[in-house]
Structure 1
């Protein structure tokens, strides 16, 4: 599939792998939000309050920046893989994007 422009490509992209230093900084900032959350709704609300969105792309939990919609990292990058979060919060309901490869919490 050919994407029309870079912004469309970015809207479906997975985040690049984080280098060690960046990963440590991002974990230090975002991981406490994940640790304090009791439900999927808590997690989404807390991330939103900090300027981030939670979406799913190609089976991965992805954190996006509100400002530009760019993917920052995955849950696994934070040490919070989707399987662990699903075990903690329960199964979540997703709305699937038209492309069939992306989605968001219903």
Structure 2
């Protein structure tokens, strides 16, 4: 189940937070709300790889790469992030000139 299928079922405050903080680490309460709406088969469509925290002192965090191969100093170890396609969907939704139409998914 993708974001286009659960968006309308999210609380308005959650939608507002996701738009305002698009691409940021997802707080536990919002992640739990999304998890309740996404069944196990659709979770891969919503959640991105979350970088694991390296063992203390084993790696310089600046040397750790994300699943996409890019260094990202803003990633929070152990945090959960939305998949890039979902981030793009939310951005398109937020920028929709009609102010609320649902963007098409690729």
Q: Quick check: TM above 0.5?
A: no
* Structure 2 length-normalised TM: 0.26
Q: Which is higher, the Rg of structure 1 or of structure 2?
A: 2
Higher relative contact order (CA 8 A, sep 6+): 2
* Structure 1 length-normalised TM: 0.26
